Amino acid sequence: MTHELVTPALRARLRDLRLVPRRAAGAQGLGQHSSRSRGVGLEFAQYRAYAPGDEPRRVDWKLYARSDRYFVRESERDSPLDLWVLVDASASMAQSDAANASLSRLDAARTLAACAIELALRQGDRFGIAALSSQPLALVAADSGPRQRDRCVQELLRWQAEGRWPVADQLLPLWERIAPASLVLLLTDAHDDAAIALAERLAAARREVVMIRVLTAEERDFPFRDNRRFMDVENGTEILADGPGARAAYLDAFAQAHAALASRLAASGIRLAVHYLDESPDRALRQLFGARPGSEPA
């Protein structure tokens, strides 16, 4: 099913990326993330005194020979990550470029979400998704495995860009399901301050938040050569502007606004990347999750 969103070529470009959280999670199970939990694992953490019920194989017999006391080796336990992908599905996400009217911001967000799911699946992590708009909250609770991946992709393909950003009460199920120390990927155009405020609240509540801002190439380049009427599809506000005459001022204001957003998010420990509709999705993911040391981008 993922062929509809993640092509083989795109999947190949994801092979050197990992969902690496800044904070250790500590969930139970086997995954690829270092945990603060102690137990049987791969990397030695510390010794502790033997207690009844400990397995004999965990006793360090060489240390016993030197000290005549029983000590148990504890290790850092690798544990799976909980990834939540939150997708802005408000009306502004229907925007596309004139050069490719068939590809909207929401279409790009779907592909970015599917790519993140592929990374989580490969690592043995749990993942869930939710669509954020004034429509009833649509989500798939976190789970793992190929069937979970297929459920998420089916749900992603159902979503439409409509309505406005949800009010606070509609977001309550997120707080019930997204546990502390989860990794939250928010895909949004970030034109609504409420989306930024949600990211800040999640970060303040000990969720690790990263954001990919999904924008059109026209927003980046302002290529218009005639008079244009620009409309906010969520509140109906319209602005009439002379394309060539307004370009320099627009580009300056755009750069300043984005820098201010990046600074605001950084103050809450939120990492930010940007995806433009004429770019490959792995570029934005690479900004956030990077490549393994010694690897080269495909």
**pTM (2 d.p.):** 0.78
Give a yes or no: residue 295 inside a domain: no
> 3-class DSSP state for residue 295?
coil
Give a yes or no: residue 296 inside a domain: no
Give a yes or no: residue 53 inside a domain: yes
> 3-class DSSP state for residue 205?
coil
Residue 201 CB coordination number (10 Å): 15
Give a yes or no: residue 298 inside a domain: no
Q: Which residue range is the domain that position 184 belongs to?
A: 2-24+80-289
Give a yes or no: residue 142 inside a domain: yes
**In this structure, are 167 and 48 located in the same domain?**
no
Give a yes or no: residue 272 inside a domain: yes
Number of domains forming the structure of the chain: 2
Rounded (10°) angle between helices 243-267 and 193-204: 20
Task: Please name the residue ranges forming H helices in the chain.
Answer: 8-13, 61-67, 105-123, 146-158, 172-177, 193-204, 217-221, 243-267, 281-289
**In this structure, are 140 and 266 located in the same domain?**
yes
**Nearest CA to 195 among 143, 234, 160?**
234
**In this structure, are 179 and 48 located in the same domain?**
no
Which structure tokens are listed for 186?
A: 């928010």
What string of pLDDT tens digits covers the 298 residues of the chain?
444 799 999 999 999 999 987 754 444 444 455 444 444 444 555 666 766 556 677 788 888 888 888 877 755 444 578 999 999 999 999 999 999 999 999 999 999 999 999 999 999 999 999 999 999 999 999 999 999 999 999 999 999 999 999 999 999 999 989 999 899 999 999 999 999 999 999 999 999 999 999 999 999 999 887 766 665 555 556 666 666 778 888 899 999 999 999 999 999 999 999 999 999 999 999 999 975 444 444 3
**In this structure, are 56 and 117 located in the same domain?**
no
**In this structure, are 136 and 14 located in the same domain?**
yes
Say how far apart CA 270 and CA 211 lie, in whole Å: 7
**In this structure, are 52 and 134 located in the same domain?**
no
Give a yes or no: residue 58 inside a domain: yes
- Name beta bridge partners: 138: 131
**In this structure, are 7 and 38 located in the same domain?**
no
